[in-house]
Structure 1
Amino acid sequence: MSDAEIEEEPVKKKSKLPLILGVVLALAGGGGGFYAVSSGMILGPPSDGAKAEKPKSEEELAAAMVLPDVAFVPLDPMVISLQGGGGARHLRFTAQLEVPIAAKPDVELLLPRVVDVFNSYLRAVEVADLEQPTALLRFRSHLLRRAQLVLGDERVNNLLVMEFVVN
Structure 2
Amino acid sequence: MADDVPDDEEPKKKSKLPMIIGLVLMLVLGGGGFFAVYTGMLFSQETPSESHDEAEAEVVDEEPLPDVAFVPIDPLIINLDTQNGALKHLRFQAQIEVPAKYEADVTLILPRLVDILNGYLRAVDVYELEDPTALIRLRSQMLRRMKIAAGEERVRDVLIMEFVIN
TM-score (normalizing by structure 2):
0.66
Is this contact kept in 2: 1:71–1:98, CA < 8 A?
A: yes
In structure 2, what is the equivalent of residue 84 of structure 1? 82
Q: Residues of 2 paired with 1:79 and 1:109: CA distance? A: 22
Matched position secondary structure for 1:104: helix
Is this contact kept in 2: 1:83–1:124, CA < 8 A?
A: no
In structure 1, what is the equivalent of residue 70 of structure 2? 72
Matched position secondary structure for 1:154: coil
CA-CA distance at 1:85 after TM superposition: 4.8
In structure 2, what is the equivalent of residue 132 of structure 1? 131
Matched position secondary structure for 1:155: coil
Mind listing any 5+ residue stretches in structure 2 that lack a counterpart?
1-18, 48-53
Q: Residues of 2 paired with 1:124 and 1:39: CA distance? A: 59
How many residues align? The count is 134
Q: Deviations over 1:77-106 (max 9, x none)?
A: 100011225311000000000001100010
Mind listing any 5+ residue stretches in structure 1 that lack a counterpart?
1-16
Q: Residues of 2 paired with 1:131 and 1:165: CA distance? A: 9
Q: Residues of 2 paired with 1:166 and 1:101: CA distance? A: 32
- Asked if residue 106 in structure 1 is aligned to residue 105 in structure 2, the reply is yes
Matched position secondary structure for 2:74: coil
- Aligned Cα root-mean-square deviation (Å): 3.6
CA-CA distance at 1:141 after TM superposition: 0.8
CA-CA distance at 1:159 after TM superposition: 0.5
Is this contact kept in 2: 1:83–1:125, CA < 8 A?
A: no
TM-score (normalizing by structure 1):
0.65
Q: Residues of 2 paired with 1:31 and 1:151: CA distance? A: 60
Within-5 A mapping of 1:1-167: 24=26, 28=30, 31=33, 39=41, 61=60, 64=62, 66-86=64-84, 87-167=86-166
- Percent identity among equivalent residues? 49
The runs of at least 4 consecutive aligned structure 1 residues that moved more than 3 Å come to 46-49, 63-67
